[in-house]
Amino acid sequence: MTQMRAVDAMALILEKEGITQAFGVPGAAINPFYSALKGHGGFNHVLARHVEAASHMAEGFTRAAPGNIGLCIGTSGPGGTDMVTGLYSAWADSIPILCVTGQAPIAKLDKEDFQAVDIVSIAAPVTKWAVMLGAAAQLPGTLRKACQLMREGRKGPVLIDLPIDVQMTEIDFDIDLYEPAEIAKPAPSAAQIDRLVDLINQSERPVIVAGGGIINATAEAELLAFADARRIPVIPTLMGWGCIPDDHDLMAGMVGLQTSHRCGNATLLRADLVIGIGNRWANRHTGDLETYTRGRKFVHVDVEATQIGRIFEPTLGIVSDAKQALVQFVAALPRITQRFDRWSAECLHRKHHMLRKTDFEQVPMKPQRIYQAMNEAFGPDTRYVSTIGLSQIAGGQFLKVFKPRHWINCGQAGPLGWTLPAALGVSAACPDEVVVGVCGDYDFQFLIEELAVGAQHGLGVVIILLNNAYLGLIRQAQKGFDMDFQVSLAFDNQNTPAGGDGVPQAYGVDHAKVIEGMGCEVIRVLEPQHLNQGLIDAQARAKAQRVPVVVECICERVTNIAMGQSIAAINEFEPIDCRDGDLTAETFWVPKMEKIDA
């Protein structure tokens, strides 16, 4: 045993747990922990400009690769409260991040000391565990439990609050005696597998709804093996997008009210058995439940027992890790007597035919045209990052994703400002890959100061900024109230000459001046014919200069993106592209373009 400060033991434990990438903002109450990280030397640290942004960076880092856990560090008081949005985001999407906060000395906690706040109570509803370290000797056990909880079951964030005096207290510790906890992974029972086999054999039109739990469990290979063996179409959720390549013939499109494909909604409505694996039946996926569930049987596989039956009662519920379940599904394949070749061909036919139009050429540009250019200019290894708004919804409708963890999206919480810092976190995890953040101008402005972080730390991300000077999604939602109120970002900028650099003065913020002032680069695109070259140049500049490069696309101010209240009644707004597909020699059931018969 060796005597050392509690924070020095903490650094050793974190390294053994594989948690060595930190994002944070130092302060007086957390400086002892920072001194341990500096003295140990095995840690990378990115200095954020805002602690909320640091928490989003940690989340992006975690999402980028299997086994990653981002570490977010803040001081006492506002250092912790600024993290709460990031904790909520990670908790809602089952993403493990470790948040560490400084705290006033234990003796001062009930005396309204400077920046002393009960962060444990504040963070408890949006973490798997929030705990204050009350005694230095408890540190090894507390940290071991925290790392286990983050990784086990439904993954999620943990917060550890460190009073400054506890940080500096010496304990006896030997890192060679420390072992990370084993992670339990529940699996299906034999009876549950028997029932699943029966349900599939009795069905005619099954589909798999593949959720983010498949990516969390790195079960993509098992998913494809199971689906392909019996030709069962796969519908990824927004969180599961990328678990099957978009160009795979069994990828049947996404389902939902917003981030969905027309073919996906039509296929779900035609299905008679839905096998959900690692998904939540989120409301933006299902829409009204009566339409979604009518005439269909459901299997729900989830690692968290309380998720089963939370939204609706399935025909069969299985509490299991996604990978453990799929391994057993594959083992049961010899007992599944059905192959669904004709059904999967029908789904592929819809995928080829039921398309939305993107080849608009007007100026100012339609956002659909920008996503078309992104598909053309960015390769299959591109990692996309997005959070909320019409820019994210259109991304879900029009982008192409080919690999797991290449669509990194804040699914449930959707905080404005998430895209830029999360993209920086992804870039920290994947420094040699093309990382592309996709955001609207309001999302971009929320945490715009984090551009300087990318410039300082050599994080060469590409940000696609769709600028229409509007809160576009909220403007579209306000149509139901017959108003357009407090959603315009436009104003006459006295410092931007009318028509200067081709940007209308009335669009307001001159992003180019801000971007360049932060040490980053900007490419401004006004016309569709310049999009592809602008995107290609941005990739090259980001790689060469190792700074964020923003491609500002000046869009028409008002564009309505397809969405609705039911997956059987999506308002399309724009013309539909009904091109011929590859399977015109066959006759399949294809819903009418104007209305899907549920």
The confidence band for 482, taking pLDDT boundaries of 50, 70 and 90, is: confident
> What letter does residue 585 receive in the DSSP assignment?
T
Question: Of the listed 30, 37, 46, 51, which one is catalytic?
Answer: 51
Q: Determine the pLDDT at residue 581.
A: 40
The confidence band for 333, taking pLDDT boundaries of 50, 70 and 90, is: very high
**Given a cut of 50, is residue 358 above it in pLDDT?**
yes
Q: What is the mean pLDDT of the chain?
A: 91
Residue the block writes with tokens 């708004």: 389
pLDDT in tens, 360-393: 999 999 999 999 999 999 999 999 999 888 889 9
pLDDT in tens, 543-578: 999 999 999 999 988 888 888 989 999 988 887 765
The confidence band for 503, taking pLDDT boundaries of 50, 70 and 90, is: low
pLDDT in tens, 225-277: 999 999 999 999 999 999 999 999 999 999 999 999 999 999 999 999 999 99
pLDDT in tens, 77-109: 999 999 999 999 999 999 999 999 999 888 777
- The torsion angles phi and psi of 469, rounded to 5 degrees, stand at 55, 40
**Given a cut of 50, is residue 580 above it in pLDDT?**
no
Q: Is the CB of residue 169 less than 8 Å from the CB of residue 136?
A: yes
Alpha helices in 75-138 (DSSP H): 78-81, 84-92, 119-123
Considering the chain, what percentage of its residues have pLDDT values greater than 70? 94
The confidence band for 504, taking pLDDT boundaries of 50, 70 and 90, is: low
Question: Of the listed 223, 232, 471, 523, which one is catalytic?
Answer: 471
The confidence band for 593, taking pLDDT boundaries of 50, 70 and 90, is: very low
Among 327-336, 471-480, 537-546, the range scoring the smallest mean pLDDT is 471-480
Catalytic annotation on 522?
Answer: no
**Given a cut of 90, is residue 291 above it in pLDDT?**
yes
Question: Of the listed 14, 275, 416, 448, which one is catalytic?
Answer: 416
The confidence band for 433, taking pLDDT boundaries of 50, 70 and 90, is: very high
**What does the pLDDT average to over 298-326?**
96
Catalytic annotation on 51?
Answer: yes
Q: Determine the pLDDT at residue 584.
A: 31
Catalytic annotation on 474?
Answer: yes
Q: Determine the pLDDT at residue 578.
A: 57
Alpha helices in 138-216 (DSSP H): 139-151, 164-168, 190-202, 212-216
- The torsion angles phi and psi of 339, rounded to 5 degrees, stand at -120, 140
The confidence band for 586, taking pLDDT boundaries of 50, 70 and 90, is: very low
**What does the pLDDT average to over 125-138?**
96
The confidence band for 489, taking pLDDT boundaries of 50, 70 and 90, is: confident
Catalytic annotation on 25?
Answer: yes
Residues with Cβ within 8 Å of 551's Cβ and at least 6 positions away in sequence, in order, are 462, 463, 464, 465, 522, 523, 525, 534, 535, 538
The DSSP-derived string for 439-479 is EEHHHHHHTGGGHHHHHHHT---EEEEEE-SB-HHHHHHHG
**Of residues 3 and 412, which shows the higher confidence score?**
3
- Domains (range + CATH), the chain: 2-177 (3.40.50.970), 190-354 (3.40.50.1220), 367-554 (3.40.50.970)
CA distance 479 to 16: 54
**What does the pLDDT average to over 132-156?**
96
Question: Of the listed 25, 100, 120, 159, which one is catalytic?
Answer: 25
Q: Determine the pLDDT at residue 262.
A: 94
**Of residues 307 and 596, which shows the higher confidence score?**
307
Q: Determine the pLDDT at residue 506.
A: 63
**Given a cut of 70, is residue 588 above it in pLDDT?**
no
- Helix, strand, coil abundance in the chain, percent, nearest 5: 40, 20, 40
CA distance 564 to 547: 39
Catalytic annotation on 416?
Answer: yes
pLDDT in tens, 43-86: 999 999 999 999 999 999 999 999 999 999 999 999 999 999 99
0.95 exceeded by the pTM?
no
Q: Determine the pLDDT at residue 499.
A: 53
Buried b (16+ CB within 10 A) or exposed e, 334-362: eebebebeebbebbbbbbebbbbbbebee
pLDDT in tens, 460-478: 999 999 998 877 677 787 8
**Given a cut of 70, is residue 330 above it in pLDDT?**
yes
**What does the pLDDT average to over 528-541?**
96
Question: Of the listed 308, 330, 363, 474, which one is catalytic?
Answer: 474
**Of residues 509 and 594, which shows the higher confidence score?**
509
Q: How many CB atoms lie within 10 A of CB 201?
A: 12
**What does the pLDDT average to over 509-526?**
93
The confidence band for 589, taking pLDDT boundaries of 50, 70 and 90, is: very low
